[in-house]
Homo-oligomer: A and B are copies of this chain.
Amino acid sequence: MDDPFTEPADTREAILGAAFRALCEHGYADLTIKRIGEAFEKSPSLVYHHYDGKDGLLVDLLEYLLERFETAVSEDAFDLPPRARLDAYVAAMTDPGGVDDEYAPDGRFLVAMVELRAQAATDEAYREHFDRSDRVFRRFLERSVREAAAEPVANAETSPERNDDVDPAAVAATLQTLATGAMLRWATTTDREWTVAVREEASRYLSRTLPAVDPDA
């Protein structure tokens, strides 16, 4: 993931940028407001002035990143046909560090995201954020599945499996849960064999559920 804070528009964005860099460098457990202040280009005291503690700052960072994603979706920044959008989602979930895409988080950020998400097990503010975040991604996926299901089939005669009983909400929930699991496995295990297996099987699943469209249709 590229640093989304290269040109901060205001003090909040500059502080969130410092928090983002410090989080990627130190990880959640070793992160302190002091370290965020050290990553901040202006006076560290400004950080204390705006935020009471690291968790309030980190939840604000998560909200900011989610709003950026929502803006990108609403502005159709994902300039891909719906099925290709889903393929890209599957590719990113199984190779989070290898995708050359602004929205594909790199390894250290992904590890930090897992640490932050684990806070939601016991912290209400994080939990509210991840409930909201899951809803935003669900809507994005559900819309993509619905659009892909509405497209004409490449070859209706040889694709008998394509049918009208695709349940966009169920397909979206499954892809989202699979991606959440891939994120957790990626951040907490050394083995990487499963990533190839999951990518292949998820692609097979998508091809059965939402066969590719006829480009000439």
A29 to B171, CA, bound (A): 35
A211 lies within 8 A of chain B by Cβ: no
Complex contacts, A126 vs chain B, CB 8 Å: 188
Q: A170-B201, A197-B170 are in contact. Are A181 and B177 (CB under 8 A)?
A: yes
Complex contacts, A121 vs chain B, CB 8 Å: 27, 111, 114-115, 187-188
In-complex Cβ contact of A197 among B130, B134, B167, B184 (8 A): B167
How many A residues touch B, CB cutoff 8 Å?
51
A85 lies within 8 A of chain B by Cβ: no
Cβ–Cβ contact B111 & A189, under 8 A? no
In-complex Cβ contact of A117 among B184, B204, B205 (8 A): B184
In-complex Cβ contact of A118 among B135, B188, B189, B190 (8 A): B188
| Smallest CB gap from A134: residue in B | B189
A64 lies within 8 A of chain B by Cβ: no
